Structure 1
């Protein structure tokens, strides 16, 4: 299985994501620049956190027009896995690959600390190694993590099982305590917390590790190869 970690001007979690893949599943992983026009070699595309294009206009509003995002949309349509973390989640909403928008935190302050999440859907390619209803500790680091959508969209998210993670103690004012959602097909996930920063006890939590092992196991099951240890 091959992973791509996208890099935009202003990305600052690309190295974290690269190392997380390398150390948790040991599969091939490449950095891919925002000008790339071919993602066909890759099975999972990670859109990392940071401040792409300095977060000018709105977070992710400029990155959404980068050439590589056309390829991300194609990959999602083909059923490949797309994981957007923090600024990556913002980019995916701006690109229309996920519904809703991320607004300024209700406190108007940047929040950087561990957060307790509840796994609301463990039937996605990203969450198979978690238990339904399990509480996990994943850090956050954002100023615009306040997820918003209208009531009609929220109803669809609930009905379709697209709310994947919720906060136990909502740090940013997100509607329905939402910390992460997926598309209807389940192969595109966006979340504000950083699983790549929770893959070692030295980092304070290993709860993010299972997101990467879940992705690999799902891919191997789909392709009929041996499961990850």
Structure 2
């Protein structure tokens, strides 16, 4: 594949059967200043080294392979068995990975997230201590939620921010093996986003739409350069995407754009694009 050479940060959005948020994510990244290519997983598997010229690897939302085994599990195995070494080099080179909704599920099921103290499950062969499972409501949740940043460890996230974005999932409940595992994540500052109410306070359903432990909505890896989150920032890029903009007035931009802009700014600082 020919990659444009115009000194813009380059993002690759992975597509496969069931991906349905690729174009919204492309729009968000392009608006933030990236060149974006949509690439099918089969092409990435076939053309070794294809990922090399890119700076950001994106696993968008959707229902890959119909979630037939478990949400994200089939794609997670495909990536793990075919391009894991490339992803490891990608991370070691200081580049960025983001998984949104189904993409977050993929990163969790393959063991890339969350990892604690630099010990990602895919590197150590350790038993996976964290997963995403069925919502407590036992139904698909489609609503807007408030997220508060609880750490500035991730390069994608502004410190002490409160954003409003939609969720759409049936298996978004973040759980761990035990309370100690959650405490380890908290201590290592890898809990990036928590579900909160409109005033920024920890609250139960429907503010926490799935029953996630400690209201966890997003986590990063030990480097802060791999982010997974269940809500969809790419669905609140323009201010008119806010569900109540006609009553509450227009902001200058949607809340989700900051996540993509932070990624682009990091790449520009790090790689001088």
> What's the offset of the Cα at 1:131?
3.5
Equivalent-residue separation in structure 1 for 2:151 and 2:26 (angstroms): 25
Q: TM-score, normalised by structure 1?
A: 0.91
Q: Would the aligned equivalents of 1:21 and 1:212 in 2 still touch at CA under 8 Å?
A: yes
Candidates 22, 29, 37, aligned match of 1:21: 29
Equivalent-residue separation in structure 1 for 2:83 and 2:146 (angstroms): 31
Candidates 169, 172, 175, aligned match of 1:142: 169
Equivalent-residue separation in structure 2 for 1:34 and 1:181 (angstroms): 24
Equivalent-residue separation in structure 2 for 1:73 and 1:62 (angstroms): 19
For each residue in 1:56-77, what CA deviation from the matched residue of structure 2 results, as whole angstroms up to 9, or x when unmatched?
Answer: 1111111012256423344224
> What's the offset of the Cα at 1:123?
3.8
Q: 1:80-229 counterparts in 2 under 5 A?
A: 80-99=95-114, 100-127=130-157, 130-132=158-160, 134-150=161-177, 151-168=179-196, 169-204=207-242, 206-224=254-272
Task: State the SS of the aligned residue for 1:66.
Answer: helix
For each residue in 1:38-93, what CA deviation from the matched residue of structure 2 results, as whole angstroms up to 9, or x when unmatched?
Answer: 31111001100100000011111110122564233442243310000000000001
> What's the offset of the Cα at 1:154?
1.1
Consecutive unaligned residues of structure 1, counting only runs of 5 or more, are none
Task: State the SS of the aligned residue for 1:97.
Answer: coil
1:7 equivalenced with 2:4 (yes/no): no
Give the aligned CA root-mean-square deviation in angstroms: 1.5
Q: Would the aligned equivalents of 1:61 and 1:91 in 2 still touch at CA under 8 Å?
A: yes
Q: Would the aligned equivalents of 1:4 and 1:42 in 2 still touch at CA under 8 Å?
A: yes
Which entry has the higher C-alpha Rg, 1 or 2?
2
Aligned positions, number:
221
Equivalent-residue separation in structure 1 for 2:14 and 2:87 (angstroms): 10
Equivalent-residue separation in structure 1 for 2:41 and 2:272 (angstroms): 32
Q: Would the aligned equivalents of 1:118 and 1:167 in 2 still touch at CA under 8 Å?
A: yes
Equivalent-residue separation in structure 2 for 1:60 and 1:77 (angstroms): 24
For each residue in 1:139-195, what CA deviation from the matched residue of structure 2 results, as whole angstroms up to 9, or x when unmatched?
Answer: 101111001112232122101100000001211000000000000111110000001
Equivalent-residue separation in structure 1 for 2:272 and 2:153 (angstroms): 19
Greater mean alpha carbon deviation, residues 206-215 or residues 31-40: 31-40
Equivalent-residue separation in structure 2 for 1:198 and 1:122 (angstroms): 21
Consecutive unaligned residues of structure 2, counting only runs of 5 or more, are 1-8, 115-129, 197-206, 243-252
Task: State the SS of the aligned residue for 1:185.
Answer: coil
Equivalent-residue separation in structure 1 for 2:33 and 2:259 (angstroms): 14
